[in-house]
Amino acid sequence: MLASKHHPNLLHADNTLIAVVDMQEPFLRTIFERERVIANVSALIQGATVLRVPVAATTQYAERMGGVIPEIQKILPPLRPAIDKMTFSSYAAPAFTSEIQRSGRKQILLCGVEAHICVCQTALEMTAAGFQVHVAIDAVSSRTEANWKLGIDKMRQGGVLISSMESALYEMLHEAGTPEFRDILKIIK
């Protein structure tokens, strides 16, 4: 149960799902600050494992664009294969929508690529559907810095909450001095 003394815009591990959008080589090959994105998406997934937060990953047209890059694939939950889609918005893909609804989670933390296309459209559609959507700006990007910034600005204007990888993990962690806190410290340091 969520404690009423906490601000409703803070992420809670028992109400959050992390959505990893289209972390595929053809998109990442020319992405702005590729290593930052991969490192921060990886940290979010590892943190989710520590905090027992579900993770749902997507791919865009995997038959042509390939699967999730190996460094991310190896840390994704093994029994949850990436959901392949042809829509830009992950939420427009029935299998993704079903996965989100089945989770019962109402806070969605987005990461992946591209910020101004698939991440943005997913964020805005999920916001319209009544979810509280957060985006970790240091775990998303686009081919150009301008489009990355445009995506963040558009999401912010659409009511999406802007966060960072570290901020999101600490919000879900909630307190220091726990075994989870020590595990999260190892991930982010």
Give the rounded distance of the alpha carbon of 137 from its chain centre: 10
Residues shown for the chain = 189
Helix H, strand E, coil C: the string for the chain is CCCCCCCCCCCCCCCEEEEEECCEHHHHCCCCCHHHHHHHHHHHHHHHHHHCCCEEEEEECHHHHCCECHHHHCCCCCCCCCEEECCCCHHHCHHHHHHHHHHCCCEEEEEEECHHHHHHHHHHHHHHCCCEEEEEEEEEECCCHHHHHHHHHHHHHCCCEEECHHHHHHHHHCCCCCHHHHHHHHHHC
Given a contact cutoff of 8 angstroms between Cβ atoms, the answer to whether 136 and 113 are in contact is no
Q: Which residues belong to the active site?
A: 22, 85, 118
